[in-house]
Amino acid sequence: MSAENAEHHAEPGDQPGKAREAFRDVTRDVAWVAEAPKPHKAWLAALTIAVILLSIGVISIYHLVTTGIGVWGNSNSVDWAWDITNFVWWIGIGHAGTLISAVLFLTRQSWRTSINRAAEAMTIFAVMCALLFPLLHTGRPWFAWWMIPHPNDMGMWPQFRSPLMWDVFAVSTYGLTSVLFWYMGLVPDLATFRDRCAAKGDKVRALIYGLVSLGWRGSARQWHRYERAYLILAGLATPLVFSVHSVVSFDFATSQLPGWHTTIFPPYFVAGAIFSGFAMVLTLMLPLRYLFNLHHIIKESHIGAMCKIMLATGMMVGLAYATELFIAWYSGNLYEKFAFWNRALGPFWWSYFLMISCNVLVPQLFWFKKIREKPVIIFILCIFVNIGMWFERFVIIATSLARSFMPSMWSYYHPTRWDIGLFLGTIGLFSTMFLLFFRYVPVIAMAEVKGVMPEAHAGKKGH
Amino acid sequence: MANTHDNHEPSDNDSEPVSADGDLYGVLAEYDTPGELLEAARKVRDAGYTEFDTYSPFPVHGMDEAMGIKRTILPLVVWGGGFTGLIGAVFLQWWMNAYNWPWNISGKPAWSMPANVPIAFEGTILFSVLSAFFGMWILNKLPQVWHPFFRSDRFGKVTDDTFLLGIEAKDKRFDQTSTTKLLQDAGAIAIENVFLETDPRRKTMPKFLFAIIVSSTAFALIPFAIAAKARNSHSNQPHFHIFPDMDFQPKYKSDTADDLFADGRANRGEIAGTVARGQLNADDEFYRGLAHGTGGEPQWTTGFPKQIEINDALVQRGQNRFNIYCTPCHGYDGRGLGAVPQRVAAGGGAWPARNLVEGGGVASKMPNGQLFNTISNGMGTMQGYAAQIPHADRWAIVLYVRALQRSQHAADTDVPADQKGSIR
């Protein structure tokens, strides 16, 4: 009996207590992860690695802030390099979380309930990682608050016509919205944890979960406003997620650099963001589903649906690459032509090759149902997509800057150990946060899963 | 009532049994399935109860209609928030970038809407989201971590698998016997009376929680206190530098100490045989038109500096320079009717230039030094000509202006005796 069949009322609750048993099973299956007295060995091992990576990141940031961004490999002409590549990559990963929680909610895709909580958490942690890069790229991150409009003794206001300023507003609105949306969805489930801890006499946890669940009572009058607010937030998050990556693409598209100055960027970036985000969702969920035995909640059909979305968005990205090449030739613009010739065959040809193979060729395997049913293969393919989408941003940024209008500005980009250290650090930050989330927070939206089960309609007349 | 209440644990003595029950708060009835809860809610509503609610692990489809819940005003609140955000973001950008400090970006107009759309959009979303989130909690009267129903063990299972209907005793139709019967007839599998707390210790917040709240509030006020103190006091101490930026640089500033040189000064004196910038312009009379009398402030010089030799050639030179630089406004005769004022007047405007030769006028009363200074630095709307006219030529112009003033008010006696015959 899958969640998709919720509309075909199966009347499984005809026997007394049957429906309640089903709900109880959901609670138990989700709560045991957080209630297990000792964490899973694999979880501990993963957390150790994550914290080591995070420490590398902290050291890299310390060295960067105390010395200056000269420690990075950014040169005079390639002044946006790994930092902005990583920023766009992380932001893009975050977008799948919002898409799953908001867009699939609005389109009534009930399979989303099995993964939306984890996907939203992924969004928040990805935005945290993303924000680090432009913040540190300012060179003096302690002045970043100057970008917030406020009266000050310098008599300065922000310059609102700059796409970089749009970024500040778009990404911070996005981060805040994601946190509030996620937290609001969490409250009923945190109340479940509260009540379970109270029933077991675990007073410290009951108090903490009790405070963060705000005294949720599950009353119908509260559910009424809650559902309305959830719908409104989903409706607001949907245009927001499209606007955020469009604004990120404006950073490039409003400049005059060949290879950046194109109108295709907003839709192309949004498709790429969804593509990479779903790859990351699967990269995270497949091992956790295996480790914590969540096969009956995150079903094969859910994974299959995500593979199909990746196939579709992967081909959109491929179409965008092809369109860029076509327009470069068809426009007859000398600089545009050179930019794309150089992109594919210039000094960074290897990154273009990686991008095309990982983003366009590899996802074609998702056409086959046999592949969509094998989690190990899906996991490997998703790793390829993650790598490919990172290289997409690198290709756009580095190849365009390394070969701009004047040959005197031509150069080549090499990352330094501090570039690599900070990138590893954000992977560590993301993994640490995600692992902690998995251990202490209801990782699956229990109330939503119960609401779309066939038992949710048990005992109703006229069905 | 068992000890299930999570947020009101007494911090001093946990082992004390829960005290006797107080007044009846309400009745909880348990139903087996969402469908039965729905039917029970419909019956309770039809019986005329208003102070009742149903409690379920997830929103039961159709419950709003069954209980007769009015549609929430939340969408209206969100609309108001979003509208405020839109207007606020547009006004913010206009006021800051187009009004308070118009900012020239590549010569584009100070206010051009398309560039301001993204932030207006994000502002709308931000305020809508905030009003939806906080509006929902406020309308739901949450956070409220205490509630009489939390005293019930059964109520603690609502968030897991249990479907409850609660009727509060304050409902005007509430009657323990008939209400219980109504709930039972609707198919309740269990019914429980919930009483109010009577133990005063359990009604108060745990002491440690109270301490945390008070101390964190106090700590949060410290930055504001420091800011208030700083705003209302003076200090000779240098700023506290968290990040030194470029405030401290390994270089010497004037009048600082330095042990590198024998005299212990960072300042080094003049080097023999060199001339510092401006050093040759020390003569105040020639370069600035100032005469130093015996003490007191320097006055405008009334004569000419000693470097200037008054002769016919100098008047000729003055006329030549005057005709180049001064006539466009002041005119060839110095009456202020040059080409520029005339042209502006022809267009209906006014650009009056000073009449330099008017008897008793400003220019006539000015000492030579002040006239020189006016040519150098300008006056009113006139700009200074120091950059175009060398010092000696400015004195030549002063001389020529004096000649013009005299010529425009010449009397018979001014004419040399041997030339009087040529005047008719």
Question: What is the rounded distance in angstroms from the CA atom of residue B325 to the CA atom of residue A239?
Answer: 65
CA proximity to A167, closest of A247, A241, A95, A246: A247
B148 assigned to some structural domain: yes
Instruction: State whether B1 and B144 are in the same domain.
Output: yes
**Would you state the pLDDT for residue B225?**
94
Across residues A57-83, what is the average pLDDT?
Answer: 90
B101 assigned to some structural domain: yes
Determine what percent of chain B is predicted with pLDDT higher than 90.
Answer: 54
**Would you state the pLDDT for residue B372?**
96
Across residues B62-69, what is the average pLDDT?
Answer: 91
Model confidence at A310: pLDDT above 90: yes
pLDDT in tens, A5-27: 444 444 444 577 888 898 999 89
E strands, B135-216, are 163-168, 190-195
Residue B312 confidence class, pLDDT cut points 50, 70, 90 = very high
Domain boundary residue, one of B199, B231, B260: B199
pLDDT in tens, B148-196: 899 888 999 999 999 999 999 998 889 888 999 999 998 899 999 988 8
pLDDT in tens, B89-134: 999 999 999 999 888 887 888 888 889 999 999 999 999 999 999 9
pLDDT in tens, A229-255: 999 999 999 999 999 999 999 999 998
Give the Cβ contact number of residue B327 at 10 Å.
Answer: 15
User: Shortest CB distance from B34 goes to which of A195, A221, A459?
Assistant: A459
| Torsion angle (degrees, nearest 10) of CA A310, A313, A317, A318 | 70
Model confidence at B350: pLDDT above 90: no
Domain that holds residue B385: 312-410
Higher local confidence (pLDDT), B7 or A67: A67
Across residues A60-64, what is the average pLDDT?
Answer: 94
Q: Please tell me the total count of domains within chain B.
A: 2
Mean pLDDT for chain A? 89
Instruction: Check B140 against A161: CB less than 8 A apart.
Output: no
User: Shortest CB distance from A456 goes to which of B34, B67, B155?
Assistant: B34
Domain boundary residue, one of B143, B177, B199: B199
Find which of B160, B194, B239 to mutate to test the A interface (most A CBs within 10 Å of its CB).
B160
Highest mean pLDDT of the ranges A320-334, B128-142, B190-204:
B128-142
The secondary structure of B202-250 as a DSSP string is HHSPPHHHHHHHHHHHHHHHHHHHHHHHHHT----SPPP-SS-TTSS-S
B115 assigned to some structural domain: yes
Instruction: Tell me whether B126 touches chain A (CB under 8 Å).
Output: yes
Instruction: Tell me whether A4 touches chain B (CB under 8 Å).
Output: no
Question: What is the rounded distance in angstroms from the CA atom of residue A278 to the CA atom of residue A229?
Answer: 26
B421 assigned to some structural domain: no
Model confidence at B1: pLDDT above 50: no
B219 assigned to some structural domain: no
Of A42-51, B348-357, B414-423, the poorest mean pLDDT is in B414-423
Domain boundary residue, one of B199, B215, B244: B199
CA proximity to B104, closest of A150, A166, A161: A161
Amino acid at A134: P
Residue A105 confidence class, pLDDT cut points 50, 70, 90 = confident
Higher local confidence (pLDDT), B2 or B333: B333
Across residues A179-189, what is the average pLDDT?
Answer: 94
Give the Cβ contact number of residue B61 at 10 Å.
Answer: 16
Sign for the pseudo-dihedral over CA of B391, B393, B394, B396: positive
CATH number of domain containing B352? 1.10.760.10
pLDDT in tens, A199-220: 988 888 898 999 999 999 999 9
Instruction: State whether B9 and B151 are in the same domain.
Output: yes
Instruction: State whether B190 and B316 are in the same domain.
Output: no
Give contacts of A457 with chain B, Cβ < 8 Å.
34-35, 61
**Would you state the pLDDT for residue B413?**
80
Cβ-Cβ contacts under 8 Å for B363 (sequence gap 6 or more): B334, B354, B355, B356, B357, B371, B401, B405
Question: What is the rounded distance in angstroms from the CA atom of residue B304 to the CA atom of residue B338?
Answer: 28
Of A145-149, B192-196, B244-248, the poorest mean pLDDT is in B244-248
Helix (H, G, I), strand (E, B) or coil at B194: strand
- Using an 8 Å Cβ cutoff, are A88 and A80 in contact? no
CA proximity to A95, closest of A121, A125, A133, A123: A123
Across residues A131-148, what is the average pLDDT?
Answer: 90
Model confidence at B80: pLDDT above 90: yes
Give contacts of A191 with chain B, Cβ < 8 Å.
159
pLDDT in tens, A380-407: 999 999 999 999 999 999 999 998 888 8
Model confidence at B228: pLDDT above 50: yes
Across residues B31-49, what is the average pLDDT?
Answer: 92
**Would you state the pLDDT for residue A231?**
93
Two structure tokens written together for A171: 């990404």
Residue B424 confidence class, pLDDT cut points 50, 70, 90 = low
Instruction: Check A173 against B129: CB less than 8 A apart.
Output: yes
- Using an 8 Å Cβ cutoff, are B91 and B123 in contact? no
Burial A383-400 (b: 16+ CB within 10 A, else e): bbbbbbbbbbbbbbbbbb
Higher local confidence (pLDDT), A1 or A321: A321
Highest mean pLDDT of the ranges A143-147, B9-13, B246-250:
A143-147
- Using an 8 Å Cβ cutoff, are A247 and A170 in contact? yes
**Would you state the pLDDT for residue A7?**
43
Residue A140 confidence class, pLDDT cut points 50, 70, 90 = confident
Question: What is the rounded distance in angstroms from the CA atom of residue A101 to the CA atom of residue A112?
Answer: 7
Q: Give yes or no for a cis peptide into B143 (omega within 30° of 0).
A: yes
Q: At what angle do helices A18-35 and A163-200 cross, to 10 degrees?
A: 110
Higher local confidence (pLDDT), B318 or B249: B318
The number of residues making up chain A comes to 463
**Would you state the pLDDT for residue B14?**
40
Helix (H, G, I), strand (E, B) or coil at B299: strand
Question: What is the rounded distance in angstroms from the CA atom of residue A434 to the CA atom of residue B127?
Answer: 28
ipTM for this prediction? 0.90
Q: At what angle do helices B74-94 and A220-253 cross, to 10 degrees?
A: 30
Element (H, E) at B315: helix B312-325
User: Which phi and psi (to 5°) does residue B262 adopt?
Assistant: -60, -35
* Rounded alpha-carbon distances, angstroms, from residue B393 to B145, B389, B406: 90, 6, 20
Instruction: State whether B157 and B28 are in the same domain.
Output: yes
Give contacts of B158 with chain A, Cβ < 8 Å.
195, 217-218
Instruction: State whether B159 and B20 are in the same domain.
Output: yes
Determine what percent of chain B is predicted with pLDDT higher than 70.
Answer: 95
CA-based nearest distance A386→chain B, Å: 28
Residue ranges per domain, chain A?
Answer: 3-138+174-457
Higher local confidence (pLDDT), A343 or B106: A343
Strand pairing partners for B382? B379
Question: What is the rounded distance in angstroms from the CA atom of residue A192 to the CA atom of residue A210?
Answer: 9
Determine what percent of chain A is predicted with pLDDT higher than 70.
Answer: 97
Give the Cβ contact number of residue A178 at 10 Å.
Answer: 29
Question: What is the rounded distance in angstroms from the CA atom of residue B135 to the CA atom of residue B80?
Answer: 11
Find which of A15, A142, A244, A460 to mutate to test the B interface (most B CBs within 10 Å of its CB).
A460
**Would you state the pLDDT for residue B21?**
65
Nearest CA in chain B to A223: B59
Nearest CA in chain A to B82: A236
CA-based nearest distance A218→chain B, Å: 5
